[in-house]
Amino acid sequence: MTRRALITGITGQDGSYLAEHLLSQGYQVWGLLRGQTNPRTSRVGHLASDLSFVDGDLTDQASLVAAVDTVQPDEVYNLGALSFVPGSWQQPELVTEVNGTGVLRMLEAIRMVSDLNGSRHADGGRIRFYQASSSEMFGRAAETPQSETTGFHPRSPYGVAKTYGHHITRTYRETFGMYAVSGVLFNHESPRRGTEFVTRKISLAAARIKLGHQKRLDLGNLDAVRDWGFAGDYVRAMHLMLQQDEPADYVVGTGRMHSVRDAVRCAFACVGLHWTDHVVVDPALVRPAEVEVLCADSRRVRAELGWEPTVDFAQLMRMMVESDLERLSREPVHGGLLPAAGR
């Protein structure tokens, strides 16, 4: 029988790659769309004829129960979130509602629908649940690299809300026997990344500067270090996590560290420019409670699930710069994209 998946956050970067991956595996894929008018569907426009959609919002319990009841999914991937870390200081309460309490609401929706359908299994019936946890939960980490046993020290409302989502998922697994797991994913990027995130801000600026649309790129902390991978690789890990005999949480990353300075150097080299001629550090873009260094110890996901990344850092930056160059060449003014503001 055809398996059904429900994805929250289908209009986001990961949602679009996950939808493609699940369709390629023969799933019937449903996406939760929020907003009663004009939902942002540009990232999944090319898949529109293969997808089904259902209305709902992670801040609204009734809508999630109705969505799960309509779709009757085998698997739920909860990717919906407000995902820009500095933005979580502008709307801390909303971020807590969506990224934290929203996880609880979806777990409850799964339990309620299982009960409504008479399965009355304490384990949430047959529905398996994936939660998009984040390396931001490690924050000011006590050790590097970070693994499944590293403690959490989040540094933003985003990180704190994700930590709640992580713990409530584990708690529902342990209390009700649900197949509910979290993937603790490190930064992953792509040509579909939002332009407010640093890699895409850099790739877009390198392309714009090369084409003469922009002269300068303002950035914050060039010394921040991240473990950057390709989003298309990471959605395979999400799917694998829901195919196991026993539910478990996994850390997912490449295990390679690069600074923001490395990303700028790499992107500008792709277009034959020197980054030092164009990049200006703007102190207003430096985060007050910065997360300085994050790097994954992903030995467990590699050993137990056989997951491996296929795209390295240099390939990732080149892919993003080339995509932005191509997009800007098609739409010469700004490729439909403006440089992002905010730190």
* Binders of ligand F7E in range 311-340 (CB under 6 A): none
| Residue 85 engages ligand F7E in binding (rule: CB under 6 A) | yes
**List 8, 11, 150, 163, catalytic entry:** 163
Choosing from 188, 208, 239, 265, the residue that interacts with ligand NAP (CB under 6 A) is 188
From the list ligand F7E, ligand NAP, none, which binds 7 (C-beta under 5 to 8 Å, kind-based)? none
Tell me the β-bridge partners of 280. 218
| Residue 75 engages ligand NAP in binding (rule: CB under 6 A) | no
320, 270 contact by CB (below 8 A): no
Phi then psi dihedrals of residue 180, to 5 deg = -130, 120
Q: Closest Cα partner for 166 from 230, 73, 248?
A: 248
| Residue 196 engages ligand F7E in binding (rule: CB under 6 A) | yes
| Residue 185 engages ligand NAP in binding (rule: CB under 6 A) | yes
| Residue 155 engages ligand F7E in binding (rule: CB under 6 A) | no
Q: Please choose, out of 58-66, 168-176, 217-225, 242-250, the segment that lies near ligand F7E by the rule CB under 6 A.
A: 217-225
86, 287 contact by CB (below 8 A): yes
Bridge-based pairing state of the strands 4-8 and 28-33: parallel
* DSSP state letter for 146: B
| Residue 100 engages ligand NAP in binding (rule: CB under 6 A) | no
From the list ligand NAP, ligand F7E, none, which binds 92 (C-beta under 5 to 8 Å, kind-based)? none
Tell me the β-bridge partners of 183. 132, 250
- In the complex with ligand NAP, the residue whose CB is nearer, 94 or 273, is 94
Q: How far apart are CA 229 and CA 251, in angstroms?
A: 13
| Residue 59 engages ligand NAP in binding (rule: CB under 6 A) | yes
What is residue 55's three-state secondary structure? strand
Q: Please choose, out of 32-40, 66-74, 134-142, 168-176, the segment that lies near ligand F7E by the rule CB under 6 A.
A: 134-142
- In the complex with ligand F7E, the residue whose CB is nearer, 75 or 136, is 136
Whether 171 is catalytic: no
What's the distance, CA 70 to chain centroid?
Answer: 25
- In the complex with ligand F7E, the residue whose CB is nearer, 61 or 203, is 203
Report the phi/psi class of residue 120: left, alpha or beta, with left for phi > 0 and alpha for psi in -120 to 50.
left
Choosing from 4, 201, 258, 265, the residue that interacts with ligand F7E (CB under 6 A) is 201
Q: How far apart are CA 208 and CA 334, in angstroms?
A: 8
Beta strands in 98-198 (DSSP E): 128-134, 180-185, 188-189
Measure Cα distances from 72 to 67, 93, 217 in Å.
8, 31, 47
| Residue 109 engages ligand F7E in binding (rule: CB under 6 A) | no
* DSSP state letter for 26: T
Binding positions for ligand NAP, rule: CB under 6 A: 8-9, 11-15, 32, 34-35, 39-40, 57-59, 79-83, 98, 132, 134, 185, 187-188, 194
Binding positions for ligand F7E, rule: CB under 6 A: 83, 85, 134-136, 186-187, 196-198, 201, 219-221, 224, 226, 260, 285, 287, 290-291, 343
Active site residues: 163
